[in-house]
């Protein structure tokens, strides 16, 4: 299957969805960006426009290319408008139940050849694929890192039934976006979060048990291992609720007590300290 990508759909206008939409736009595709929340959609459209404008001011793209890219953006709240998309990627809330409901709808509205992709950070692609009636071969994991326009990696996950053709077409699209692709089997957390989240969780244990201050834990990992952000700062950036939910997926899927989320991390989430998006997490952003 050689797919000539012309149009893609992105479901979810949050940070990940709008970042993926931006990638599609600046790489010549028509992009249908869907969110049921009109305000979220307006915010996404504004942030894409500002981000593309930044590319112009940095001299990365011309004014004409930026304007053409923005004209290829179609913001919508109607799934049916994605019926001609060659690939539809979802970047909605990390809930297996909600994603499955969406995949049932995507299966109904999309053309038979469309690839249905999930940007899930840890949920089983095989189980999401099983929600569809179409041959499950066209369902795949396409996991972008945050922020998608900047991070150089896309992790591609083949479910138990994903075909090699779907993998190759999805890989080609990620490469068109300028990304390096890694391929993971469909086990909880895939590659990146399988390794990253226990590190973040351990940083919370270090804080919880009084090993050091939050600043010293972060500085230790930033300067000691050359990470751009310390693990606690990164957890705030990702969202503490997202970190807890990924740890729970690891725990359920891999069955090892080492994946139990740190009580301090859980307590922050229970207290509504969700990280940067909320203005308060390990650090305050007010």
Question: Which residues carry a binding-site annotation for CoA?
Answer: 51, 58, 121
Given the residues 90, 110, 143, 188, the one annotated as active site: 143
Spatial distance between the Cα atoms of 72 and 123, rounded to a whole number of angstroms:
31
Q: Does 51 bind ligand CAA (CB under 6 A)?
A: yes
Residue 286 binds ligand CAA, judged by CB under 6 A:
no
What angle, 0 to 180 degrees and rounded to 10, lies between the N-to-C axes of helices 214-225 and 192-208?
140
Instruction: Kindly report whether the peptide bond that precedes residue 179 is cis, defined as omega within 30 degrees of 0.
Output: no
Site residue total, ligand CAA (CB under 6 A): 19
Residues in region 159-198 near ligand CAA by CB under 6 A: 192-193, 196
**Three-state SS at 246:** helix
Of 170 and 245, CB closest to ligand CAA: 245
With contact defined as beta carbons under 8 Å apart, do 218 and 232 qualify? yes
First to last CA, the chain: 50
Q: How far from chain centre, in Å, is Cα 81?
A: 22
Q: Is 238 in the site for ligand CAA (CB under 6 A)?
A: yes
From 121, 124, 163, 245, active-site residue: 121
Instruction: Kindly tell me which of 82 and 269 has the beta carbon lying closer to ligand CAA.
Output: 269
Confirm or reject binding of residue 102 to ligand CAA (CB under 6 A).
no
227 is catalytic: no
Q: What is the DSSP letter of 213?
A: -
* Residue span 113-152 as binding mask against ligand CAA, x where in contact by CB under 6 A, dash where not: --------x-----------------------xxx-xxx-
Q: Does 111 bind ligand CAA (CB under 6 A)?
A: no
How far apart, in whole angstroms, are the C-alpha atoms of residue 58 and residue 286?
Answer: 29
Strand order in the sheet with 139-144: 73-76, 30-34, 7-11, 87-90, 115-118, 139-144, 153-158, 180-185
Closest distance of CB 113 from ligand CAA, Å: 28
**27 is known as an active-site residue:** no
- Is 124 annotated as catalytic? no
Q: CB–CB of 118/89 below 8 Å? A: yes
Residue among 114 and 268 whose Cβ is closer to ligand CAA: 268
Query: What is the spatial distance between Cα 174 and Cα 200, in angstroms, rounded to a whole number?
Result: 27
Q: Nearest approach, Cβ of 109 to ligand CAA (angstroms)?
A: 26
Which of 69/114 has CB closer to ligand CAA?
A: 69
């Amino acid at each position: 299957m050689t797919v000539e990508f012309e149009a893609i759909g992105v479901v979810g206008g949050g940070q990940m969805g709008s970042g993926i939409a931006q990638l599609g736009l600046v790489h010549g595709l028509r992009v249908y960006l869907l969110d049921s929340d009109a305000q979220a959609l307006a915010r996404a459209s504004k942030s894409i426009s500002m981000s593309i404008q930044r590319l112009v001011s940095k001299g990365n793209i011309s004014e004409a290319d930026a304007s053409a890219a923005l004209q290829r953006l179609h913001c919508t709240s109607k799934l049916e408008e994605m019926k001609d998309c060659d690939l539809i990627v979802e970047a909605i809330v990390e809930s297996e139940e909600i994603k499955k409901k969406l995949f049932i709808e995507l299966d109904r509205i999309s053309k038979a050849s469309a690839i249905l992709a999930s940007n899930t950070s840890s949920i089983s692609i095989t189980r999401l694929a099983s929600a569809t009636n179409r041959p499950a071969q066209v369902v795949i994991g396409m996991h972008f890192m945050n922020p998608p326009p900047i991070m150089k990696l896309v992790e591609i996950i083949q479910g138990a039934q994903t075909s090699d053709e779907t993998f190759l077409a999805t890989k080609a699209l990620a490469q068109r976006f300028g990304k390096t692709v890694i391929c993971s089997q469909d086990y909880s957390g895939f590659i990146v979060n399988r390794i990253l989240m226990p590190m973040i969780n351990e940083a919370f244990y270090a804080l919880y048990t009084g090993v050091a201050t939050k600043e010293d834990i972060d500085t230790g990992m930033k300067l000691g291992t050359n990470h751009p952000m310390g693990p606690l700062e990164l957890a705030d950036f990702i969202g503490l609720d997202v970190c807890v939910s990924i740890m729970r997926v690891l725990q359920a899927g891999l069955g090892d007590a080492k994946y139990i989320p740190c009580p301090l991390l859980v307590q922050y989430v229970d207290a509504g300290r969700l990280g940067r998006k909320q203005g308060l997490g390990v650090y305050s952003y007010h």
